[in-house]
Amino acid sequence: MSIHPYAGKRVPKSALVNVPELISTYYTQIPDTTISAQRVSFGTSGHRGSSLVGSFNEMHIFAVTQAVCDYRKQAGINGVLFMGIDTHALSYPAQLSALQVLAANGVDVRIAKDSGYTPTPVISHAILTHNTNGQPLCDGIVITPSHNPPSDGGFKYNPPHGGPADTDVTDWIEKRANSILENKMVDLKKLTLQEALKANNIKEYDYITPYVEDLQNVIDLENIAKSGIRIGADAMGGSGMAYYTAIKERYGLNMDVFNDSLDSTFSFMHCDKDGKVRMDCSSPYAMAGLVALKEDFDIAFGNDTDFDRHGIVTKSVGLMNPNHYLSVAINYLAQNRPQWKSELGIGKTLVSSSMIDRVAQSLGKKVIEVPVGFKWFVDGLFQGKILFGGEESAGASFLRKDGSVWSTDKDGIIMTLLSAEILAVTGRDPGEHYKELTEKFGAPIYARIDAPASAEQCTILKKLSPDDVKESILGGEPIEAILTNAPGNGAAIGGLKVIAKNGWFALRPSGTEPIYKIYAESFLGEEHLLQIQQEAQAMVAKLF
């Protein structure tokens, strides 16, 4: 994909979303269920779409919320449902629609007080905290399309384990929601908005205080405060805006918080590689504004809109590659959490850097390699069997200091604060730590290529087998393994990974966009990486 002329530049006014049009279309556009793009579809992170193209409208939210209510009933879940929203323009209207249905179904709901916003990890934390107290099982809904453009909306369901719902749950909800749409909403129970907002089962809740108070049990905030390091926290106009301010005040951190007011056009952002407005805290183009401030702080960081991902900016390297930071975080945590059991494993997705494997081997830790999607780490974190679960797309979580579960969804807040802890405790920022790792284990080069793919082509890629690869050499080295199932849990990859001694590639279709992705890495340099990418593309061409 070529680099757009707007990449890394402030969003031009001409590219800003028309919020009134977006919201009015949400209420007036009626989805056509005979068009696949206008049906409810749960990808790797829930249902996403835009009101402008008929894929995220009020009828979708009515239907999917009723489906969640029906799922809860048949699953025996009757505790509190914690609901959070992010700052996308469609999130608040979607919350209001969902409340009409939840109120009518008698679900006991908690929403942020004062029409506030709630990060994804805070919902996970709330679910887990309440479920350990012996109360009726709680679950949650997060209305967010993550880092997607401002025109998008999203809807995620987190069952009682606190993490993203697995496919058996999302398939059930998706099927039920589409059935409700197809049957002209006859199974829908809803109140008027006025009735819902006055309903006794819809209550406001203080999400901020319990989460912020509990942070000291997962992050060494005392040492961060004592160090006096200058911290830059870019809230990126997201759902955690009020959280960084609360953390700063509660723990006395030397931290500047900015972009912490609502702007659903996200006009303060810089355009991503393709010229789109995308709150991707792992993109050097989208994060160009924060990178320009790196000399003003000892450590700086930002988060995507629902605060489940992290972007770390250091003086030594600027914006860190997510894989680099995951490697540093694992290496640091494994050596600085004395209460953790020695047998704890490390969770990584199979498209994350092999640097993690080399770090883990040096630590004597087992790597649990799983398919793409944070849901695969839920059980390991919940049961305290893995100390860390991380994705190449800058999403991760880890255990409390005492080795118990903190969150079973990605937590961008603890990952950003961890970067400050690393600097405060060691005197070196994460970029400097990664340089030390490359001196010990080599310096891998990692890249991802996105390419257009039709629905038919995506289906082909999902169903590949090792026999579909006829080649025996990758990047001049013998192919050591061809995987269509993850070695950590045996689950289907939904694509394919080809591995040689000093390089690998993986390909898989996107769960949310009409594209496929080629991930590749080399420990032998740029030319070798390019060779691997070219060979991977040639293999894909033969499949189509």
Single-letter residue type at 47:
H
| DSSP class per residue in 350-414 | TTS-THHHHHHHHHT--EEEE-SSGGGGHHHHHTT-EEEEEETTTEEEE--TTSS---SS--HHH
The active-site residue out of 41, 51, 55, 146 is 146
Three-state SS for 307-363 is CCEEEEEECCCEECCHHHHHHHHHHHHHHCCCCCCCCCEEEEECCCCCHHHHHHHHH
**CA neighbor of 308 nearest in space, from 248, 354, 256, 373:** 373
Does the annotation mark 151 as catalytic?
A: no
Contact 302, 311 (CB under 8 A): yes
CA dihedral (458, 460, 462, 467) positive or negative: negative
Nearest CA to 352 out of 492, 477, 220, 448 is that of 448
- CA-to-CA distance for 38 and 30, rounded, in angstroms? 9
**Closest among 512, 422, 537, 534 to 48, alpha carbons compared:** 512
Closest C-alpha to 303, from 144, 157, 164, 512: 144
Place of tokens 């937590």: 411
Taking the C-alpha atoms of residue 125 and residue 397, their distance in angstroms, rounded to an integer, is 11
| Token reading at 117 | 């916003």
Beta bridge partners of 48: 154
Residues with a catalytic annotation lie at 146
